[in-house]
Structure 1
């Protein structure tokens, strides 16, 4: 990579990072679908990974994780303890597992999305739209599946009580969230990733 390309990549990464922080800390990171609000904070992570590569994708995912950590620490809600080891909500407090939940899935968003994009392109040559849509959906599902299952692993009972007042059937709640929230978010992510990345590729080639 020559100096010009490296500089351009760093500038683009900084722009994507700024967008992630803005989306994470403001209501702009949510799209109302009528029955729910779809999170789109992972979309710039996915697009950044596709455009800049998996290393930048992991970096941008880390920015997403840090923004989430900050928000859950300083703007907590009843279940923020699963994302921040620095707070206690009622009788429930975060721990090292909170950092794993907050950071690991977000770092993997861009990495998974990049390799899904490349994999689909390799299998279906010329099908860039399909590859972009698959990458968008895969990145979103990586976040949802890992976050929710790690929450169950580290804080199953505590999360059930804090979120729904449940002591039993917590994994059923987790599965419900994955389908009710995760699937629509994956569809929205696939659409946005395809549209925005295609436009960005055209601008970069101009």
Structure 2
């Protein structure tokens, strides 16, 4: 009897995970992952990742983060790996570095969101604040991990110094934070706010409905 219940729980877990994967794919195909804001677009692709990480655990967060990474890698393929070519990389290294920048970073983000939520939920007396912090953690960590790898790649680009010159390259190295701010801009802040509100609200509501 116990074994049957355990198998049922595993089945429900896989169905819920598959549903979130399907939602992510639909959001990418239909363009619903981008919310138009005044002069900007905010991506909410981290929302399903955050919801899965908080409701299903870090492993599910890692899987969903991997799906998000695969979508990002596919987008890089469609744009001809423009970011890597801009940094001065060529040949097969472009594909490999783009893969490292898009997929492992998102997997790590999903896993970390699950861990952060679990730790906070244990001490969250309101059983509410932890959902919004978890929702905020997803876009914050997504930007942090992605940009950290991107900065490392740009700093070690084989031909970037020749393209910019030693003086400009030195300025670039001395102003990393300015580069990051210019690259992600206000869009990252908007994604953090939107992700926090939407992910936290959806996850709290679902937790009440399914009584988890």
TM superposition score category, shorter chain reference:
0.7 to 0.9
* 1-structure distance, mates of 2:182, 2:133: 22
Identify the match of residue 6 of structure 2 among 2, 10, 27: 2
**Pairing of 1:63-82 with structure 2 (within 5 A):** 63-73=67-77, 75-76=78-79, 80-82=82-84
Secondary structure at the aligned position of 1:31 is classed as strand
Give structure 2 stretches of 5+ with no counterpart. none
**Pairing of 1:17-56 with structure 2 (within 5 A):** 17-56=21-60
Asked if 1:130 is matched to 2:129, the reply is yes
* 1-structure distance, mates of 2:109, 2:27: 16
Displacement of 1:178: 4.4
* 1-structure distance, mates of 2:144, 2:87: 26
TM-score (norm 2): 0.79
Displacement of 1:179: 5.4
Residue in 2 that maps onto 1:85: none
Residue in 1 that maps onto 2:197: 191
8 Å contact 2:50–2:135 — kept in the other structure?
A: yes
**Pairing of 1:89-168 with structure 2 (within 5 A):** 93=90, 94-125=94-125, 127-156=126-155, 168=171
- How many residue pairs were aligned? 194
* 2-structure distance, mates of 1:191, 1:20: 18
Identify the match of residue 58 of structure 1 among 51, 55, 62: 62
8 Å contact 2:34–2:42 — kept in the other structure?
A: yes
Give structure 1 stretches of 5+ with no counterpart. 83-87
Q: What value does the CA root-mean-square deviation take over the aligned residues?
A: 2.8
Displacement of 1:42: 1.0
Distance 1:188 1:121, change over 3 A: same
TM-score (norm 1): 0.81
Distance 1:90 1:114, change over 3 A: closer
Structure scoring higher RCO (CA < 8 A, sep ≥ 6) equals 2
* 2-structure distance, mates of 1:200, 1:5: 17
Residue in 2 that maps onto 1:180: 186
Displacement of 1:29: 0.6
